[in-house]
Amino acid sequence: MNIRENRDQGSLRVVVTGPIEGHPLRIGAGFAASSFRHEQFAGRMDPLVMVDHYTMTEPTFGPHAHAGMSAVSILFEDSEGQFHNRDSLGNDIDLEPGDLYWLAAGRGAVHDERPRAGARTHGLQVFVNLPARLEHAEPDSLHVRAAQMPVVEGEGARVRVVLGETNGTAGARSPALPMTILDAHLEGSGRYTHALPSGVQVWVYAVDGEAELAASGSTLRLEQGKARALRVNAAGASLELRSESGAHVVLMQGEPLGEPIVQRGPFVMSTVEALEEVTAAYAGVDFGSLL
């Protein structure tokens, strides 16, 4: 049963859209992804701008700039080897399987991520929007190692709290907008219920296997490679993730900004004028450089 978009949604505690499949994306011989963009979700992905579910085995992008948003790398535990991360904030680190790296680019930062020789990086690359008031803030970053992430287990579910909080179990906080990221593995007949704060939007993606989402009295299928977006209208709501045959599901939750998104590649601003300014700043090498 799908919950359709209509004018009566205000009476629903949770409004669910989708399912939506990502667009295939290949760059060179070492990068393959399924790519989701905010336009596909008609505003229900806010504050997310983009999510790429990718596998990378070779250096692909080279040093590049970000501005007006946060670039977030979520590595899955089945990644192999190290993912070398450098940026103009002075960070030079190797991400390990299961790690998170959050770069809040603000007014601008230069970034480079690439698998070490022989490595296979499997994960999500996420662009998170910043409110207009923070578009020109100083850049900041956060590295959370897999061993630092709380793990909730029970009822055939193992849930890594990559960021934020679920049912009283708190992980690290983002250096920008508050966000919860859960990396859930469900066994056959496994289930996990996550309490949903009022006013948030949630994006749920089936990395592997088939899951069901139970919310607001409806149960919806989520097939492998597809995503659904949820808007939470009232307090006391919850979302149950479950699977009969086993699944790997990622949940991302944040408060929507409700602001315009003007994007040019890795630059995200709220107006065309601001986008032109940040593009000119990068051309003038105002973003710093990698060491």
User: How far apart are the C-alpha atoms of 66 and 53, rounded to whole Å?
Assistant: 19
**9-283 fold:** Jelly Rolls (2.60.120)
Closest of 12, 266, 281 to residue 127, by C-alpha:
266
Is 273 marked as binding a ligand? no
d(CA 103, CA 256): 19
**Residues contacting residue 8 through CB under 8 Å, at least 6 positions apart:** none
> Which helix (H) or strand (E) element contains residue 210?
none
Q: What is the pTM of this model?
A: 0.91
pLDDT value, residue 83: 97
What is the full per-residue pLDDT of the chain (291 aa) written as tens digits?
A: 343 433 334 446 788 888 999 999 999 999 999 999 999 998 889 999 999 999 999 998 888 888 989 999 999 999 999 999 999 999 999 999 999 999 999 888 999 999 999 999 999 999 999 999 998 899 999 999 999 999 999 999 999 999 999 999 999 999 998 999 999 999 999 999 999 999 999 999 999 999 999 987 889 999 999 999 999 888 888 999 999 999 999 999 999 999 999 888 888 888 898 888 878 876 655 555 555
Asked whether the beta carbons of 103 and 70 are under 8 A apart, the reply is yes
Question: Which DSSP string do the residues of 58-107 spell out, in sequence order?
Answer: S--S-SEEEBSEEEEEEE-TT-BS-EEEEETTS-EEEE-TT-EEEEE-TT
Q: Which pLDDT score is estimated for 188?
A: 94
Contacts of 44 (CB under 8 A, 6+ apart): 15, 17, 201, 229, 230, 231
66 labeled part of a ligand binding site? yes
Greatest Cα pair distance, the chain, in angstroms, is: 56
Q: Which of 177, 135, 139 is nearest to 267 (CA)?
A: 135
- Compute the distance between CA of residue 170 and CA of residue 194 in angstroms, rounded to an integer: 13
Distance (Å, rounded) from C-alpha 201 to C-alpha 214? 16
CA atoms within 13 A on the CB side of 122: 8
Determine how many CB atoms are found less than 10 A away from the CB of residue 217. Answer: 10
Query: 42 burial class (0-12, 13-18, 19+ CB within 10 angstroms)?
Result: exposed
Tell me if 248 is assigned to a ligand binding site. Answer: no
What are the phi and psi torsion angles at 56 (to 5°)? -130, 130
pLDDT at residue 285, rounded to an integer: 54
64 is in an annotated binding site: yes
